[in-house]
Amino acid sequence: MTLRTKVLLLRKTPYGETSVVAACLSPDSGRVDLMLKGAKRIGSRKYPVADLFRELEVELSDAGKNSSLRSPRSIDLLAQFDSIAASPDAYSAACSVSSLLLRSSAPDTPAPMLYAAAREAFRKLAEGASPEDVLWLLRLVNLEEHGVLPESPTPEGRALARSLSLAGRGLAPPPEVDAEKETAIKSWLETLSKKEGFER
C-alpha cells in the first residue's frame, strides 16, 4: 500500500555514509520520516528538490516492520521558501518553527490545521515577516489543534480566537488588535506552549 501526501521538510539528519533522514510534517499523517538513500553523494541528482523548509508532494511505500522510516517512490516540489536562508533572523525563526512542529506532531496523527499554519509561517518568513509575528499565530493554531487552547468565556474573546486561528492558517487577514492586548496574548501563548511541552 502506498500513500501520496504533501509534506513540509523540517529537518535533515545524515544516516550512514550516503543517506539522509528527512523529518517532515504531513497534514494527513502527521510526523513522517523519509529515508533518502544516496542523498549525500557528491553530485547526486536523486533528491534535488528535498531541502529544508520546502513543501513537497511525496508518494511513499509502507514503513518496515521495525521502523517508522518511509522510502519515497517519488518527490515533487510544490513550493519553496528558500529565501529564508538569506536572513539569519528568518532562518533562526524557521528552525524554531520546525522544532515546535517536531515536538507537536506524531506519526499517524493527522494535523491539517498545524500543517496549514506551518506552511503559512514559512511563507511569511520567506517574505520578510517579523519572526515574533509568525510564531505567536503558529502557537495558537498548534494549541487549538491539540485541544488545549482554553476557550474564552466571552463571545468577543471566542471571536478573536477564531479570527487569529484563521489568520494563522492563511485563510483570513489578521484582525486588528491593540498593542497592549497583542503583547499580553503573545506572552500567554508562549507560556502555555511551553507548559504543554511543545517548546523548551
Roughly what angle, to the nearest 10 degrees, separates helices 155-168 and 131-145?
Answer: 110
Over the stretch 19-30, which tens digit does the pLDDT of each residue have? 899 999 999 999
Number of domains in the chain: 2
118 and 172 belong to one structural domain: yes
**Domain boundaries, position 47:** 3-80
Over the stretch 66-123, which tens digit does the pLDDT of each residue have? 557 888 989 999 999 999 999 999 999 999 999 999 999 999 999 999 999 999 999 9
- Does a structural domain hold residue 169? yes
144 and 158 belong to one structural domain: yes
What is the SS3 assignment for 174?
coil
- Residue 55, C-alpha cell as written in the block: 513543501
28 and 115 belong to one structural domain: no
Report d(CA 156, CA 29) in Å as an integer: 34
7 and 87 belong to one structural domain: no
Q: Say which DSSP state 127 is in.
A: T
73 and 88 belong to one structural domain: no
Question: How far is the CA of 159 from the CAs of 28, 131, 156, 184, 185, in angstroms?
Answer: 27, 24, 5, 17, 14
Q: Say which DSSP state 110 is in.
A: -
179 and 116 belong to one structural domain: yes
- For 7, the enclosing helix (H) or strand (E) is strand 3-15
For the domain that residue 69 is a member of, what is the CATH number?
2.40.50.140
What predicted TM-score, i.e. pTM, was given to this entire model? 0.91
Over the stretch 149-194, which tens digit does the pLDDT of each residue have? 999 999 999 999 999 999 999 999 999 999 999 999 999 999 999 9
Task: Give the angle subtended at the CA of 49 by the CAs of 132 and 123, to the nearest 5°.
Answer: 20
- Does a structural domain hold residue 117? yes
53 and 69 belong to one structural domain: yes
Report d(CA 199, CA 139) in Å as an integer: 10
Alpha helices per DSSP H over the chain: 88-104, 112-126, 131-145, 155-168, 179-195
